[in-house]
């Protein structure tokens, strides 16, 4: 990892968390669907990042979001779960030695692989966020609806952002 990659990721982190905290925190549809775009940062971290570093970054990012949301632990746990799913999915779907792309973005990996990857990670993350926040199962279907609709919303925004950046790079 050279310094350019590190700088790019720090830049991404700042922008995505800023947007999440000061803009998307106030955005919700019918009390049901709310996007957590900041997970995109964890999705597109480089392939070669060591596992321990990935977990530390995920933990820190979650804790930062939690601090602003006043929900200590909820996003932290969800981000750690996301990091684990990310490692699992990459090791199952790709041969680690033959990876020659720097990072798992839409432009590098193609729409099919990236959508499945993003869907899985976002799904796990949102399920953890909403169920840990409710912290009980007697509103199960309501919480499930909330998380599934939010998955759709987040996935849409993530793909949108990736499309925009992909096109800008190639042109």
Q: Could you write out the three-class secondary structure of the chain?
A: CCHHHHHHHHHHHHHHHHHHHHCHHHCCECCCECCCCCHHHHHCCCCCCCHHHHHHHHHHHHHHHHHHHCCCCHHHHHHHHHHHHHHHHHHHHCCHHHCCCCCCCHHHHCHHHHHHHHHHHHHHHHHHHHHHHHCCCCCHHHHHHHHHHHHHHHHHHHHHHHHHHHHHHHC
User: Minimum distance from CB of 128 to other proteins (Å)?
Assistant: 9
CA 121 to chain centre: 7
| Residue 40 contacts other proteins per CB under 8 A | no
Judged by CB under 8 A, the residue of 70, 110, 170, 171 near other proteins is: 70
- Interface pick for other proteins out of 47, 55, 113, 165 (rule CB under 8 A): 55
Does 73 sit near other proteins (CB under 8 A)? yes
Chosen residue from 17, 134, 152, 157 binding other proteins by CB under 8 A: 134
Asked whether position 93 contacts other proteins by CB under 8 A, the answer is: no
Least distance in angstroms from the C-beta of 111 to other proteins:
26
Q: Smallest gap, in angstroms, from Cβ of residue 101 to other proteins?
A: 20
Residues that bind other proteins (CB under 8 A): 22, 28, 31, 34, 51-52, 55, 58-59, 62-63, 66-74, 76-78, 80-81, 83-84, 87-88, 91, 132-135, 138-139, 142
């Amino acid at each position: 990892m050279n310094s350019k990659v590190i700088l790019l990721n720090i830049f991404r982190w700042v922008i995505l968390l800023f947007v999440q905290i000061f803009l998307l925190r106030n955005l919700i549809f019918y009390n049901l669907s709310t996007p957590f775009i900041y997970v995109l940062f964890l999705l597109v971290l480089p392939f070669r990042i060591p596992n321990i570093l990935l977990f530390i970054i995920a933990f820190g990012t979650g804790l930062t979001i939690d601090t602003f949301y006043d929900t200590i632990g909820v996003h932290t746990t969800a981000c750690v779960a996301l990091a684990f799913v990310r490692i699992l999915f990459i090791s199952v779907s790709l041969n680690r030695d033959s990876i020659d792309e720097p990072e798992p973005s839409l432009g590098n990996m193609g729409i099919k692989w990236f959508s499945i990857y993003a869907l899985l990670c976002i799904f796990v993350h949102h399920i953890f966020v909403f169920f840990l926040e409710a912290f009980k199962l007697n509103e199960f279907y309501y919480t499930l609806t909330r998380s599934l609709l939010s998955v759709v919303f987040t996935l849409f925004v993530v793909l949108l952002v990736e499309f925009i950046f992909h096109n800008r790079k190639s042109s």
